[in-house]
Amino acid sequence: MVRIIYVRHAESLWNPIGKYQGRLDPELSERGHKQSKLIAQALKKYNPTVLFSSPLKRTYQTAEYISKDLGLPINISEDIIEIDHGDWSGMLVDEVKEKYPDLFRAWLYEPENVKFPNGESLTDVYYRVKKFQEKLLEKHNGETVIAVSHTVPIRASFVAGLDLPLGKFWAFGCDNASYSILDYEIIRPILYKLNNTYFLGDLFVPALDAL
């Protein structure tokens, strides 16, 4: 069994305004930097031995606080990068609703069938996060690993790790600067903790439902 602590990056400059980020690369907001300090402190008690991060700024900057506090080098993994939102990237939620009403509804209610125009499908993300989990189990069996990622790959990781239908994608909360723990093994995987944000106090901001 490998214990995987999934961390959603702290608040970026685009999160509060509801803009799809995808592979675009905004930095953390001022509040996001403060959140990152708190999540680093909250993770110390788990004694992790390895730290992975998506290569994008909002994840890497979050991981830097964890790296500094816990003394762990950052390993970059493309497997846990955010979904490529394609033509939605850089658009506000309200703009997407107006321009892509049918696809937006499908994203909320049939996410397993969605492929973003000029971007990725949720199935694409599922297979790369599944590959990431399998590599961790092979190389870090018995260890606790932190993975700083994004809302789509984290939710897809729960589906993949628990061997659930991809249509259950939206069943898991995933707020900014939250952490969740998956005890991953093939026979008996356990979602040990989900969407923990208690340590943020007044810095907590709920995520938008469509993001």
Instruction: Break the chain into its structural domains and give their ranges.
Output: 2-203
Note the pLDDT of residue 146.
99
Evaluate if residue 211 carries a pLDDT over 90: no
Look up residue 84 and give its two tokens: 């490529």
The DSSP symbol for 208 reads P
Spatial separation of the C-alpha atoms in residues 148 and 76, rounded to whole Å:
10
Is 51:7 a contact under the CB 8 Å cutoff?
Answer: no
CATH of 2-203, one of 3.40.50.1240, 3.40.50.2000, 3.40.50.300, 3.30.460.10: 3.40.50.1240
**Partners of residue 182 on adjacent β-strands:** 4, 191
Examine the residue annotation and report whether 9 is marked as an active-site residue of this protein.
yes
Specify the range with the lowest mean pLDDT, choosing from 98-107, 118-127, 188-197, 201-210: 201-210
Per-residue pLDDT for 210 more than 90? no
Give me the catalytic one of 9, 33, 85, 140. Answer: 9
Q: How confident is the model at residue 156 (pLDDT cuts 50, 70, 90)?
A: very high
* The overall pTM is greater than 0.95: yes
Catalytic residue from among 33, 85, 140, 150: 150
Any catalytic annotation for residue 150? Answer: yes
What pLDDT, on the 0 to 100 scale, is given for residue 81?
98
Share the mean pLDDT of the chain. 97
